[in-house]
Amino acid sequence: MTLRVRDAEGKDQLVDLLAAELAIYRESRNDRRPGPFAVHEVLQQFEPDQDASLLEGLDLKHTGQWHLQIHGEGGPIYYARARFLAQASTRWIVDWIGEDWLARPFERAIKQVDSDLDAEYQGFVDAVVSRRFRFSTLWLRDPDLHVMVRPWRRMEAHLQPGAIVSSKELLERLRAFYGDRRL
């Protein structure tokens, strides 16, 4: 079974827009890696509520952005963050295109979900990105599990890349590292 992700509305328009944005991005960086490029995964992006503290829990909110894995010949080469132009719209805007430093860890986590957790999850997979606490996970809602994508280096003693933890355990590990800090 392949990782189950949501099929985004306006996906054709997103792919066309992303191709144009990617061409501009590559030209600005004199990037000569061969194409073609393809969007392989589209994940809704969540983050912890900015007004909550770690004592209150991980109240995850949809950011309005989607994380896109972009593959070239050799696998993940870019990632992008995109969102709908307006609420109730199917027109997209690309907010960010980034290099493989984050696309590759996301890809490893995606493959880990496909190989190790395939029989256990029933729902969709989303991305959780916390800039404040400097970590990213793949979030499986049923069962409620997080696969650590990329923690901040200083946090790796508490959260190793590839670690599989429940939301409760993730919260406990964040509390152990940060204390009761506001998100």
Q: What is the pLDDT of residues 100-127, one digit of tens each?
A: 888 999 999 998 888 887 666 666 789 9
Is 2 contained in some domain?
no
Q: For the chain, what is the domain count? A: 1
Is 5 contained in some domain?
no
pLDDT in tens, 145-162: 899 998 877 887 778 889
Is 70 contained in some domain?
yes
Is 93 contained in some domain?
yes
Residue 180: predicted pLDDT: 67
Is 162 contained in some domain?
yes
pLDDT tier at 9 (50, 70, 90 boundaries)? Answer: low
Is 6 contained in some domain?
no
pLDDT tier at 78 (50, 70, 90 boundaries)? Answer: very high
Tracing tokens 């963050």 back to the chain, one arrives at 81
Q: How many CB atoms lie within 10 A of CB 39?
A: 18
- Say how far apart CA 83 and CA 47 lie, in whole Å: 15
Mapping DSSP to helix (H, G, I), strand (E, B) and coil, where does residue 113 land? helix
Task: Tell me the residue range of the domain where 78 lies.
Answer: 11-178
Contact criterion met (CB below 8 Å) for 55 and 178: no
Mapping DSSP to helix (H, G, I), strand (E, B) and coil, where does residue 79 land? strand
Is 3 contained in some domain?
no
- Say how far apart CA 59 and CA 67 lie, in whole Å: 19
- Say how far apart CA 86 and CA 89 lie, in whole Å: 5
| pTM, entire model | 0.84
pLDDT tier at 47 (50, 70, 90 boundaries)? Answer: very high
Is 130 contained in some domain?
yes
